[in-house]
């Protein structure tokens, strides 16, 4: 993709990678870097939020409940809200543990995407979340095969609850999911390259989709 040289051109789309894995040298971290490199090669901007490195607290506080009389985001949530306000794509990268995302990522959804956002707004699809109008992208990994996960109902449940449901509830523009299966410590180099090639293709497809889009999110605040 060609980088525009017009000073008055609309700012390039920006991706926020929300990485959730406790091991800084994990395959998930490599996936995040691969996605990041592919996005930058398309001249898009990207920021990585490594939840474990940030020591993000996933526990929702009583005063953070949408029903609280005086809702004020705590400092760590306010920081994340400021980051997400300036992006067009929210990218979740995480392993599937016991059929669900890690607790820390669930807490990120509750405290950040759900900041000041109650069930009435969710039901009415009236916007109000920092995620509204943005694109949701998920990349997941598992040590088990896709066939086994599907036989257990894990993948369809994950797609329904953590992809489609979140995108609809927060009035997001779209959602897409790439799953990488059989991710184990003794993967061959060929397997690793194949999986990372999928990530690159997925990132490039996301960038192309954004550039072809004429949604208001591309006119974000700088």
Q: What is the pTM of this model?
A: 0.87
Q: Which pLDDT does position 103 carry in this prediction?
A: 96
Domains in the chain, ordered, with CATH? 14-60+74-213 (3.40.50.360)
Q: Where are the alpha helices (DSSP H) in the chain?
A: 27-41, 75-84, 103-108, 119-124, 146-151, 154-158, 165-169, 189-211
**pLDDT tens over the chain, length 222 residues:** 445 555 545 678 999 999 999 999 999 999 999 999 999 999 999 999 999 999 999 999 888 877 655 677 899 999 999 999 999 999 999 999 999 999 999 999 999 998 887 665 555 555 578 999 999 999 999 998 889 988 988 899 999 999 999 999 899 999 999 999 999 988 899 999 999 999 999 999 999 999 887 444 444 433
Q: Are 209 and 15 in contact (CB under 8 A)?
A: no
Query: What six digits make up the tokens of 63?
Result: 């005063």
């Amino acid at each position: 993709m060609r980088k525009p040289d017009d000073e008055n051109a609309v700012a390039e789309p920006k991706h926020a990678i929300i990485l959730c894995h406790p091991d800084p040298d994990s395959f998930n971290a490599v996936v995040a870097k691969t996605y990041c490199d592919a996005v930058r090669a398309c001249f898009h901007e990207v920021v990585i939020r490594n939840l474990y490195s940030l020591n993000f607290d996933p526990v929702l506080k009583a005063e953070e409940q949408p029903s609280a009389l005086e809702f004020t985001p705590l400092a760590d949530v306010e920081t994340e809200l400021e980051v997400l306000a300036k992006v067009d794509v929210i990218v979740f990268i995480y392993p599937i543990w016991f059929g669900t995302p890690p607790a820390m990522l669930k807490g990120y959804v509750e405290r950040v995407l759900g900041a000041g956002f109650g069930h009435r707004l969710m039901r009415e699809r009236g916007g109000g979340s920092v995620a509204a109008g943005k694109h949701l992208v998920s990349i997941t990994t598992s040590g088990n095969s896709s066939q086994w996960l599907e036989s257990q109902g894990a993948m369809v449940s994950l797609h329904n609850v953590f992809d489609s449901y979140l995108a609809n509830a927060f009035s997001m523009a779209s959602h897409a999911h790439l799953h990488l299966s059989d991710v184990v410590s003794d993967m061959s180099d060929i397997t690793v390259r194949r999986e990372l090639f999928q990530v690159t293709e997925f990132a490039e497809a996301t960038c192309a989709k954004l550039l072809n889009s004429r949604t208001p999110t591309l006119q974000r605040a700088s």
